[in-house]
Structure formats: C-alpha cells, structure tokens
A and B are shown apart, each in its own frame.
Chain A
C-alpha cells in the first residue's frame, strides 16, 4: 500500500511540475519578447485576477460547467445508442456513417448561428453544440469496440446456446466499455470548447465564454487569461473525472482480482444441505462425492503460483 501512495505522490508531483513548466514558459515568453501586461499578462496576475473577481467568476464558472456537463451527458448517450444501433445493421451503418462524418466536417462555428435561430438563446443551443462535438468520438469508438468482439467468442456463445439478448449484455456491451471511455475522454476535453462556442453565438446568460468575449473587447487581458485558465481547468477536470470513472467501471484493467469477493469455496456447501433436490443430484454427478480440493487437482502450477 505504501508503494501505491509513493507512486501517487510521484505522479502528483510530476503533474504539478508540468503546470509549473507551462507557467514558466509563459513567463519566459513575456520576458523574452518584452510583452506588455495589456498584451499578455503574467500567469501570476491572471490567477490573481481570478482570485480578485471570484464573486463574478463563480457564477460564470457554474454556468459553463453546467452547459458542458449536460451537453456532454446528452452527447455521450446519443453517441453510445447510435453506436449500438449502427453496429446492429450494416445497412444502417453505411447509411448513417457518411452523415456523421459530414456533421463533423461542417465547421461548428458556422452551424452555431443557425442553431441559435432554431433554438433561441437559452441553454438548449449550447447543449446541442456540446453534444454535437461529444457524440462523434463516442460513436466511432463504440462502433470500433463492437466490431472487434472476437468472432470465436461469438461462436462460442452460439455453441453454448446463448440467447441473443444475453450474449449482447454479457459479451458485446462490456466490450464497448474500454473504447467508450477513450471516446468519452476525447469528448470531455472537446466539450468545453463546444460550450464556449455556444455562449459566443447564442447567449442570454453569462458564462465564461461570454465573459471572455466582453473582456477581450475591452482589452481586459487579465480577465481574458483568467477566464481561459478557468476554462482549461474545467476541461482538465472533465478529463480526470472521466478517467476516474473509467478506473472504477473497468476494474479488470487495473486490478488482478474482483472488488466484490466470492466466499472461498466451502467444499461442504455442495451436496450437503437439502440432500435430495434434483439439482443437487446434478451437482453430485459432476463433482462426485465431494471431499473437494482433491489432491490430484493440486498438480502443476498449483504449487508454485504467484503470491
């Protein structure tokens, strides 16, 4: 366990170092090109601006986070469902895929304006834009995951007499998880950009994006950089959040045993209680009379196993 703590500490230290490096380069650029504060404020003064104006920033940040989070969830859900539906039918896939690619080729800024006309200036157009950028990596990755389920495993399921729905739940659905999270991580970082664009073209309420715009117009560069730092933080936090969920949702990738443990097999539990139910008979047929852990099984690796 202490090994785990040390690893975590090292990682955090490196992450802090990376942030320090960014701020260092930032300062270096200002120094090297002799940039004035109205052109590019130092990171220190930008952070200070966040601190000084926190009462303003707080509400804006919440607003933008909401747009990002809701849009992200909607986009991810649509992307996932679309991926599953498309994988079910080659025809649907060939029909829908070009439309998907087209949707991403269209400059998002260009369609943001018509979206505002369609959906007004409330939350909706922002959600649509965020979902628009999020769903694509999700669809592509889910489709990929479903397409790469081992053919032999599918055949094995068939030989076992699998019901279609059960095979989907037990084999196909979990196979999408890892690629799904890859898509979600990409989507999480894009989502903030979507929210900002949404605010720029269609905003009645203030968010960090709108603030950025007005601050920029009034040459308030500290405000611009402050908002930018906050937006970046939202993006990074989203990514980290999705990564954390991934670790919890896919334990087999990081752990060697399941979190929920099976009781150690009590040899007496089979064939002992309620003696003559037919299933017990079945079990006995398979395991013989069970003083389990028969010595023969303990051949080979059983002696020299890890741990």
Chain B
C-alpha cells in the first residue's frame, strides 16, 4: 500500500514512501510514509526510541530501509548519500578547522575548497552574526555559536533539503530560544525544505508548517498536523491561544493513556 505512489512531481520535495526498517528482527519503522513539500518546514516529535533518527538515516541515505523508497524530486534516491544536509545535536565541528574551515567542510570532502567557497563561508558567517569569529577554532566558541557554525556548514552544502536532528537539544533554554528565532530567520531567507526532529513540543510547533507525531517503537506516523500560524513568527506566537491549542493537541497524541502505561 503506497500512499505516495505516482506523486513524483506533485509539489513534494522529499517523499518517504512506505518505509520499513527492521534491525535483526526488531521493527524500528513500520510502513512509514511522509512527504515534505518544497520550502516546507516539518517537525517530527515522538517518544524516545520511536525511530526518528532511524528515519533520518534512511532519508539521508546512510541506511537502506528493509523495504520502501525515498524520493527526492520524484527520483528514487534510496540508500544514496550526498543529497541532503544533515545536522545532529552534537555539532561535530572539527577541532583543527576554524569557523570558516568547518563551514566549507562539504567542499573539502567532495571537490576541494576554492577561494570562492571560503568567501561564501565568510559572508554566510558574517551575515548570521559570526563575522568576528571566522578564524576561531571551535573550542573557543560557545555552545550556541558552535551550533550556528554547524548549521552554516549544512547550508554551505547548497542542498535544498536539511535534516536537523535535535540540533538545539543540548543547549540551555535561553540559548535554545535564541537559536530557534535565528533558525526561523535563516529559514525565511532561504528556499529550503527542513525536516526537524525534536523532543520539545513547543519547539516543534513554533518552527514548523506541519508537525508529524510519531508513535513509540515501531515508529509510525500517528498524526500529521498542519500548523496554521503565520510567518514571520515572533516570540508572541508562543503565548498565543492558537499555539496553546495546537500544543494541547500534540501533547494529547504523544501521551495517549494506553501508551503511557509501559513507560
């Protein structure tokens, strides 16, 4: 049963088509289907171990699913890497590379860094508030700054799909909110589609156009809620009645009594 079969064009940037992943008998993802539109921001929330990271590994091409396909612009890219930008909670900055050196990592790994790459990286860093830190090594930066560099490294790949796996999960709540606002500003500047995994329901709703709620293991999409909040979004959104209503709905899905018992 393929929900997205034949919708190759159809406005969808990425289609996860009926993906199942089985690890030595254990079912991690169970016939999961999900679409991501062009320039759309979709958050994925779900309990720990619901296979969110597994889903990302499938979409990024790191992991070949047991069955199902991943389509990018209608083309089957299952198990192929190099198509999307990927960012984790760990910033994974390379300690011996400067801020600029880290941002151009994608070029260094694929075709070699040119002067233009460095210029672009410097312009990107300057535009998004790290202009004075171009030559700094990562250890000299704060956690929030490091995550920004990590995101710029992802942007510098020039892919139009970004997978962000709890990118702000390790930050304190103040920095985290700053980073969310910052990400919104970056997102509004660029034509990118973002798939964003988080544990934080507020974060999921605040950032996204849609919130996909996943079930516990094996991972399935329980609900796919549109977030009708207007952009650009500011902090006021977080306290608006509409936001609270959406949050109630998502929390209700995440903590269904039947599923809450075993935990």
Contacts and interface: CB of A to CB of B under 8 A. Distances in A.
Interface of A: 150, 152-153, 155-163, 166-167, 170-171, 174, 177, 250-252, 255-258, 261-265, 267, 269-270, 279, 282-283, 285-288, 290, 292-294, 296-302, 305
Q: Which 7 A-B pairs have the closest CB atoms?
A: A161-B82, A256-B140, A265-B122, A300-B178, A297-B129, A162-B109, A265-B126
B105 interface: yes
Interface in B119-138: 119-120, 122-137
Contact of A156 (B88, B122, B128, B175): B88
Contacts of A299: 129, 178, 181-182
A293 B127 contact: yes
Contacts of B136: 256-258
Contacts of A290: 123, 127
Contact of A161 (B88, B109, B144, B179): B109
Say whether chain A's binding surface is mostly helix, strand, loop, or mixed: helix
Given A177-B96, A294-B127, A162 B144 contact: no
Counting chain A CB atoms within 10 Å of each CB, the highest count among B84, B94, B158 belongs to B94
Given A163-B110, A177-B96, A286-B155, A298 B129 contact: yes
A301 B108 CA distance: 29
A297 B62 contact: no
Interface of B: 57, 60-62, 81-86, 88, 90, 92, 94-98, 100-101, 105-106, 108-110, 112, 116, 118-120, 122-137, 139-140, 142, 144-145, 155, 157-158, 175, 178-179, 181-182, 185, 189-191
B98 A257 contact: yes
B178 A258 contact: no
B137 A258 contact: yes
Given A161-B81, A256-B136, A270-B120, A292 B129 contact: no
A276 to B, nearest CB: 15
A171 to B, nearest CB: 7
A159 to B, nearest CB: 4
Given A258-B135, A265-B134, A300-B175, A158 B126 contact: no
Contacts, number: 162
Contacts of A163: 109-110
Nearest to A254: B137
A252 B95 contact: yes
Contacts of A171: 94, 109
A269 B121 CA distance: 12
Contact of A159 (B84, B118, B175, B181): B84
A304 to B, nearest CB: 10
B88 A152 contact: yes
A262 B132 CA distance: 11
B140 A257 contact: yes
A305 B142 CA distance: 9
Given A166-B108, A301-B178, A257 B137 contact: yes
A270 B123 contact: yes
A297 B182 contact: yes
B13 to A, nearest CB: 16
A160 B139 contact: no
21 contacts: A157-B109, A159-B81, A160-B81, A160-B109, A161-B83, A163-B110, A171-B94, A177-B96, A252-B139, A256-B139, A257-B98, A262-B135, A267-B127, A292-B127, A293-B127, A294-B128, A297-B129, A297-B182, A300-B179, A302-B130, A305-B133
A286 B62 contact: no
Contacts of A300: 129, 144, 175, 178-179, 181-182
B127 A301 contact: no
B135 A160 contact: no
A287 B127 CA distance: 8
